[in-house]
Structure formats: C-alpha cells, structure tokens
Amino acid sequence: MQDQGGSGRATIRDVANAVGVSTATVSKVMNATGRVSAETRKAVLEAARELDFRPNAMARALQSNRSSSVGLLTDDTYGRFSLPLMAGLTEGLIAQGMSVFLCVIDGPKELGATHLDALLQKRVDGLIISGRRVDRLPDIDLTGVTVPTVYALSHGPADGVTLAPDERHGAALAVSHLIEIGRRRIAHVTGPRRFRVAMERAESWRDTLAAEGLWKEGEALHGDWSQGWGHTAAAHLIDGRPASDWPDAVFCGSDQIGLGMIDAFRERGIDVPGQIAVIGFDNWQVLAAQARPPLSSIDMNLPELGREVGRTLTRMIAGESPATGTTRLPCTLVPRASTIGPAG
Amino acid sequence: MQDQGGSGRATIRDVANAVGVSTATVSKVMNATGRVSAETRKAVLEAARELDFRPNAMARALQSNRSSSVGLLTDDTYGRFSLPLMAGLTEGLIAQGMSVFLCVIDGPKELGATHLDALLQKRVDGLIISGRRVDRLPDIDLTGVTVPTVYALSHGPADGVTLAPDERHGAALAVSHLIEIGRRRIAHVTGPRRFRVAMERAESWRDTLAAEGLWKEGEALHGDWSQGWGHTAAAHLIDGRPASDWPDAVFCGSDQIGLGMIDAFRERGIDVPGQIAVIGFDNWQVLAAQARPPLSSIDMNLPELGREVGRTLTRMIAGESPATGTTRLPCTLVPRASTIGPAG
DNA sequence: TTGAAAGCGATACCAT
DNA sequence: ATGGTATCGCTTTCAA
C-alpha cells in the first residue's frame, strides 16, 4: 500500500509503454535531445511524473562511461577542516548531478587501498585527496591511477593539482591588521616546525613585519597547536620581563593557542586587547567567538575552497588540464574584540 | 607511458581473450561461483592481475540491481557529531564493498530534494539520515521513498529505524560518577528545553539523584550550549550565596558549558574539583582535554554508533526488519582532573 | 568444466 | 518526428 507506481522503480520502457512510444523517444524527451513533437513531449513528461520515473544512473553510467560521482579520501576523523570543505564540495558538485563518495581512511594502511579499489570499481570520475594534517598526505598508493585527482588542503605531488588556503596571505592579513590598530611589537606563537603551514605563517609574519621595518627581535615560538602551549608561551613572553619588553600584540598560529594566550594574560591581569592584542588562525567559530574576549582570527574559507575543488575537478573531468602545483585561495580576516575591543 | 595495461580500464572480455576462455568463465572465477578447473582459475586470476582488471561496478549494479552504495544525508556542516559517525559508518560498510555518498544539505530547502533525487537515480541500496540538531531532522521529504532508511542521532518517525546514543544512560553515568567520588549536591546546567537531549539528560540527572535520595532542591538550569552560558550559570549558582549553599559538583550538558563553568570558578578562586567537581558531555577531546583542569566528560561513542548504523542498514538491505523506534547505544565515562583531580 | 546468449536500463545512430 | 537496434560490461541460465 506504499508503492503507488513502484516509486522510483519504473523503467524507461514503462514510460514508453504508458505513452505508446519507443524508449528512444522517451530518452530524447528526458534529455532534451533530438526532435520530439510538443505533444509527445508533454505526454511523456506526464507519464514520467505519474510513474515517478527516475532514470537509472547505473545504466546511464554504463552507456556513457561517466558515473557522475567522485570519491573523497580523507584521514580526518575529527572533521574540523574536512566537513566545511565537504559542504562546499558537495554543494558545488550536486549542481552537475555529481555525488561524492566519502571515505574516511583513518586506520590500518590497507583500508585506504580497499576504499580506493571500491571507488575505482565504481568508476568514479574523479578523486579528491584531503588530509587531516595539512602537510602530510593520507597514506594511499595512487600508482597507476589515471582518474583526475585534486589534492585539497594537503599537498599532492608537484605534477599534481593542489588547492590550499593561502597561508602566507592569511598570516599577512593578521599581522597587517595588528599593525593597522597601532601595534608595533608583534610576537608569533605557533605550531611545530615540522608543519609546513607553521613555517609558512611564520615566514609571512616575519616578512610582513620586515616590510614595515618593525620589531625584529626574537623568533617565532614553536610548540604544538594547543591551548596549553599558548598558555606556556605567554609565560615565556611575559614572566620575568619588564612590561616594556612585552609584545603589544601576538599573532597565534591557531585559535587554540590564542585561547591559551588570552587565558594566561587574564590570569596575569593583562588587558586584552588594551595591553596586548591577540589574533588566532582557523576561525574555529565555536572556540573563537566564545572566548573572553572573543578572539579575532583568520578564516581559511574552507567551503569556498571546497567549491573551487569541485570546479577544478569538473574541468579536469571535462578534459582540461588546470595548472599543476598548488593554487592558493585567499583567507579572510575576522576581527573580534581581542584586537579591536568591545566597541568594535 | 603511464597506462601500462590501461590501468583499471580492462574489461572482463579483455581478460577472457587474454586467457582464451569465455567471459562467463572469467566471471565465475572472479566471483568464486560455479565450477572452474584450478588451472583455468589460476590463469584467469593471473591475467586479471596483469591487466589490472577491476570489474565495472556499474555493470554489475545494473545486472544485480544492487549498487553497493548508500547515501548519507546530513545538515551538519560543522561536523562535530557527523564525522566521527561517518568514520565508523564507512569503516563498517566498506568491509562489504559498500561506499557512502555524503550529502551535506545545509542550505536552501530544495537542496535536500536535489541530493535525494541524485541518490535515488544512483539507486542507492540504503539511506542514512542524520542531523546536526539531535532533535530535529534535516528537512527532506521522504514520501514514497522505499529504500531502507536508518536515522542516526536525530530521531526518525515512530515506524522508522533510529539509532541514537543513550542520553539517559550517559547522564546517569555522569551523576553516578559524581556520587561515587563523594559529591552530594549535584547541580545540572544544560541546553535549551526545546532540545530533546537536554530534557532527557535532565530527567536522568533528576532520577539518578532521587534514586540515591540526594539533594533535590533547585531545577536544572537551561540556557544554550555555550561556554558563555556556563559562565553565567556559574554566577547564578555561586554569587550572593553562602558557600554552604553551593553545589559540590555540576553536571554540564555540554563540554562547552563545562568549560565556561570551570572558567567562572577559577575567576572566583573556587577549586575544581576540590570545592566543586565539574563534568561535561560530548567528550569533545580538543576542548575537554585542554581545559584547565582537563574536563571529565561523557563520550557518546559515535564511531561505534556509526558502525552499528552500518550493520543495521546492511541487515535491512538484506531484507530483515530491525525493531522500529529508537535503539539506544551506551555512552562511556571519561574521567579527567575536573572530577578526580590531578592525582588520578 | 566451459561457453553461447539473453538480459539489466539507458543512449545514439540510422532508418523510416 | 519516431522507432529499431546495437551497445555499454557483467551475470546467469542452459547447453554442450
């Protein structure tokens, strides 16, 4: 009593029979290809609706050699970076009828191979490789894979196509912002040296300061990405030093570090941003907006990156060859009270 | 020079030709069905490997009427709950060659319909519906859809199959833990009343306390899920009251609330857990583990939930009819310093 | 043990 | 403007 019309199980032949035409004609109507009389078209359309006809994508794929689906391989179990990216990705691709297979390959090495094999059997039109660690690729062997592939966030091989946020631009945005609000002694506290993004942001911090001829003593402070490290680093910068030696702003490599920093300053009765302004990176809403004071940050525009990945992959599938190497997408400054104060 | 053998584009006929047998025989070998001589089998297997033959899943699907893929519809752009669930889901399903289409339908209402249509055209064998708001379903019209469907996290219709964490169990775990460490005046600060999970956790808090004959004054404090609310609620509980009126523990409806709480206590010089123990909910690692002190919490075991969703859906696809209504999966207590102190 | 042939559902070419 | 038919790659009887 639930299957009026067989819901979605009707074939093109059912429609053809219902109208009294051939399957070829129905196909033409459904794809708006070839000449069909207005009358026939209307009848076919009506029957299709009536029967809840939905063309079988498998059959179509078999015939056209295009599956209208792509695979996304990621080792990001946590999703802080992946999901916003996926949101943009699926949004961009669905417009062209493309669906995205998600494969989370956080686990034994063979898991990646298994997923990849499944995707290849399903004849995905394209592949996206994205990693949790922005600098290290998920562990998959792509040897011999001829499917168009885009690397997102994590960096693919030199002859591959990679899309990633413009880390240097983001860092420059942060530092320029601090300079604009009048800060001159801008410290940098960030993640491990082995992270490519940490080095890129640090370089950009240094370059931007140098371009303005500002405070150049001291180096970037490298630790992990955590709140705890922010806290510790703040102590390094402040404790046992005269206030005249303090920075008047800190650019942090992650929002978590920024939070720890703010925390430590508060404990010491240092006003943020009055005495020291703080800006983070990632614009991890739920953290940054909830901080006290709310933490200014740099947004990597991951959804937009995802959309761009979709566009690029689509073009590759269509036969184009986008620039190899890494294409950088701009970041955005999100000012909050930790730099501009409560007044705005 | 990269396509030795045409990488993954070889057909069953290519293999058959290479060996000098029929496609039927190759098929039998590949599927371990029918009788084939050991000799032939070996030759076929070898040729298949040689040619990097990968059966075309589209053709197989067309023939078997099974696509070996399922669709996951979610409106969780943020991913805090979705991704751990997906990780478990894909892990559980890939073992059976099943891949998961991810559809993020956070956007205009028609987006859901578009995605659903794409999935139906692709003849997914099953559907998973999961929401950001645990109590409200993503906005999709499933009328007339006959594909096996499982609801995860968010609750489906009464005659549907839903899998969700056992909120009451989780809350009971938290409260029992507090009681075990000797607390007797256990407050509860949680999210909005309109959230089903908020009400369930609050009820369980009340019931567990009542069962022990403990402090029953006061009601659960409902606000939003944020750190800010935790901070405010702490003020309610503490400010202007004699210390003898203070709770000696607070069970928080989210880790964020717990963080705000800890923060407020610290500002007031109240020792956690010395004077007041705090426990959160969600076990959002990156927040809870980084808190000062690290926040005890309740883990909803989302990856396991995902695996179970996979199993259930598989059974439904196989024709079984699992119990309708909601099946609850147990939570786990994750004790940290905010309840048991630094010593352990 | 092996193979020939009929589909699965849709598309596209070529007639009509 | 329509329709017959071969075809996509694989599975599955049914014969041989």
Measured torsion, CA atoms of residues B290, B296, B297, B301, in degrees rounded to the nearest 10: 80
**Residue A181 belongs to a domain:** yes
pLDDT band per the 50, 70, 90 thresholds, residue B170: very high
Sorted by sequence, the CB contacts under 8 Å of residue B234 that are 6+ apart come out as: B189, B250, B260, B261, B263, B264, B265, B268
Instruction: Look over chain B and give the mean of its residue pLDDT values, rounded to a whole number.
Output: 92
Q: Does residue A211 share a domain with residue A100?
A: no
pLDDT of residue B188: 97
CB distance B310 to B92 below 8 Å: yes
Q: Does residue A127 share a domain with residue A182?
A: no
Among A57-61, B5-9, B227-231, B277-281, the range scoring the smallest mean pLDDT is B5-9
**Parallel/antiparallel/unpaired status of strands A186-190 and A221-222:** parallel
Q: Number of Cβ pairs closer than 8 Å across A and B?
A: 189
Q: Does residue A176 share a domain with residue A107?
A: no
The count of domains in chain B is 3
Q: Does residue B269 share a domain with residue B172?
A: yes
Final residue belonging to a domain, choices A115, A139, A157: A157
Integer Cα distance of A239 and A152 in angstroms:
41
Residues B60-88, mean pLDDT to the nearest whole number: 90
Q: What chain A residue is nearest to B3 in terms of C-alpha separation?
A: A144
Q: What's the Å distance between residue A101 CA and nucleotide C1 C1'? A: 40
Question: Strand C contacts (CB < 7 A) among B residues 31-90?
Answer: 34-37, 39-41, 59, 62-63, 65
Q: Does residue B91 share a domain with residue B197?
A: no
Full 3-state SS string of B222-275: ECCCCHHHHHHHHHHHHCCCCHHHCCCEEEECCHHHHHHHHHHHHHCCCCCCCC
DSSP string, A203-258: HHHHHHHHHHT----S-PEE--SSHHHHHHHHHHHHTTS-GGGS-SEEEESSHHHH
For chain B, report the end-to-end CA distance as a whole number of angstroms: 61
Q: Does residue A76 share a domain with residue A174?
A: no
Which DSSP category does A295 fall into? P
Nearest neighbour of B54 by CB, restricted to A3, A83, A120: A120
- Give B-chain residues touching A94 at CB under 8 angstroms: 103, 111, 114-115, 118
Residue B109 φ/ψ, nearest 5 degrees: -55, -40
Give every residue of chain A whose pLDDT is below 70, as ranges: 1-8, 132-136, 215-217, 343-344
Q: What's the Å distance between residue A71 CA and nucleotide D14 C1'? A: 40
User: Which nucleotide comes closest to B38 if you measure CA to C1'?
Assistant: C1
**Residue B18 belongs to a domain:** yes
Q: Which two tokens stand for residue B133?
A: 């708001």
CATH number for the domain that contains residue A33: 1.10.260.40
Integer Cα distance of A342 and A322 in angstroms:
45
Q: What domain range includes position A141?
A: 67-157
**Residue A7 belongs to a domain:** no
Q: What's the Å distance between residue A22 CA and nucleotide D4 C1'? A: 9
Q: What's the Å distance between residue B28 CA and nucleotide D6 C1'? A: 26
pLDDT of residue B1: 29
DSSP string, B270-331: --TTTT-EEE-SS--HHHHTTSSSPPBEEE--HHHHHHHHHHHHHHHHTT--PPPEEEEE--
pLDDT of residue B8: 54
Integer Cα distance of B204 and A135 in angstroms:
45
**In strand C, which positions have an atom below 7 A from any protein CB?**
1-5, 7-14
CATH number for the domain that contains residue B183: 3.40.50.2300
- Is there a contact between B83 and A87 if contact means CB atoms under 8 Å apart? no
B43: number of Cβ within 10 Å: 19
The residue ranking higher by pLDDT, A325 or B135, is A325
| Per-residue CA distances from A94 to A233, A314, B114, B142 (Å) | 45, 11, 8, 19
**Residue A62 belongs to a domain:** no
pLDDT band per the 50, 70, 90 thresholds, residue B42: very high
Integer Cα distance of A30 and A196 in angstroms:
50
pLDDT of residue B6: 46
Q: Does residue B73 share a domain with residue B39?
A: no
Contact flag, residue B63 CB and nucleic strand D, below 7 A: yes
Q: Does residue A202 share a domain with residue A125?
A: no
DSSP run (H or E) holding B86: helix B82-94
Length of chain A: 344
**Residue A3 belongs to a domain:** no
**Residue B306 belongs to a domain:** no
Q: Does residue A42 share a domain with residue A89?
A: no
Integer Cα distance of B65 and A4 in angstroms:
20
The verdict on whether omega for the bond into residue B273 sits within 30 degrees of 0, i.e. cis, is yes
Q: Does residue B213 share a domain with residue B136?
A: no
Q: Does residue B278 share a domain with residue B176?
A: yes
CB distance B254 to B281 below 8 Å: yes
pLDDT of residue B5: 42
Interface test with A, best of B104, B110, B309 (most A CBs within 10 A): B104
Sorted by sequence, the CB contacts under 8 Å of residue A314 that are 6+ apart come out as: A93, A96, A98, A126
**Residue A308 belongs to a domain:** no
User: For residue B219, how far is the Cα from the chain centroid?
Assistant: 30
Q: Does residue A151 share a domain with residue A49?
A: no
- pLDDT higher than 70, residue B4: no
Integer Cα distance of B279 and B333 in angstroms:
10
CB distance B142 to B112 below 8 Å: no
- Is there a contact between B99 and A120 if contact means CB atoms under 8 Å apart? no
Name the residue with the least CA to C1' distance from nucleotide C1: B36
On whether any CB of chain A is under 8 Å from the CB of B141, the answer is no
pLDDT of residue A8: 53
Integer Cα distance of A58 and B62 in angstroms:
6
pLDDT of residue B290: 87
Name the residue with the least CA to C1' distance from nucleotide D6: A63
**Parallel/antiparallel/unpaired status of strands B332-334 and B297-299:** antiparallel
For chain A, report the end-to-end CA distance as a whole number of angstroms: 61
Final residue belonging to a domain, choices B114, B133, B157: B157
User: For residue B43, how far is the Cα from the chain centroid?
Assistant: 45
Numbers of helices and strands, H then E, in chain A: 13, 12
DSSP string, A313-336: HHHHHTT--PPSEEEEE--EEE--
* E strand segments, B107-205: 126-130, 149-152, 161-165, 186-190
- Is there a contact between A94 and B87 if contact means CB atoms under 8 Å apart? no
**Residue B1 belongs to a domain:** no
